[in-house]
Structure 1
Amino acid sequence: MDTEELRDYLKENSNVENLFTSKCLQYLTEKNNQRSLDKRWPQERIDREAANMYYKFLVNIHDKISSNFKGLAKHDPNKWRHFISVNEVLDLLLS
């Protein structure tokens, strides 16, 4: 399973992306409000930064799960789904 397949799986089976992005937007907006007026970011940049933070989070999750597989198993989506289910990864991400 590659990063995009993992992203799609998480999107279909949880609301991790929405929760993470929401918290990122809240954090980035608070940080932005602390900047002087002339250095504040437009909302588009805040949205882009939140999306980048989620992508880095997703890559980190992918790398950690991937390290549990050897050889061709790294590419088998069924093995990934089984691993995510057995190890309750979705529950851990939501907590």
Structure 2
Amino acid sequence: MTINEFLNFLEKNLISYNIFIEKATEYQLEKNKKRTPKKRWEEKKVNRAINEMWKSSMQVAYEKVKTEIGIPRYDGYEKWIEFIEENDFLEAINDSITELEFE
């Protein structure tokens, strides 16, 4: 499973994905308010920053699974899904996101 496949899978299957996006949006908008008016980011740039926060946060989870099962040559996607389900990986990520606070 590639990182993009992993992110897409999480976005479709995590209950807390929208919570993450909401928290990241609040954080980025608050951060943007503190910038001087001339240096404030446009909405497009704020959205890119939010997406980067998502990617970098989930990169850690991706690397953890990758370390455990690698990237199998055959049936890799299915093996990743199987590992994620057997290890309650989605529940762990959901719990982490609900407790997450950006500073």
Flag whether TM exceeds 0.5 (same fold): yes
Query: How far apart are 1:59 and its partner, in Å?
Result: 2.2
User: Which position in structure 1 is the counterpart of 2:61?
Assistant: 61
Instruction: Return the structure number with greater relative CO, CA threshold 8 A, min gap 6.
Output: 2
User: Which position in structure 2 is the counterpart of 1:77?
Assistant: 77
Q: Distance in 2 between matches of 1:74 and 1:21?
A: 33
What is the Cα-based RMSD across aligned positions, in Å?
2.1
Q: TM-score, normalised by structure 1?
A: 0.82
Bigger helix fraction: 1
Query: How far apart are 1:70 and its partner, in Å?
Result: 4.6
Equivalent pairs, count: 95
Q: Deviations along 1:44-83, whole A, 9 cap, x unmatched?
A: 1111110111122232221111001156379712221121
Note closer, same or farther for the CA distance 1:55–1:15 as it changes in structure 2 (3 Å cut): same
Query: Gaps (5+ residues) in structure 1?
Result: none
- Percent identity at matched positions? 25
Q: TM-score, normalised by structure 2?
A: 0.77
Query: How far apart are 1:5 and its partner, in Å?
Result: 1.6
Query: Gaps (5+ residues) in structure 2?
Result: 96-103
Q: Distance in 2 between matches of 1:40 and 1:71?
A: 41
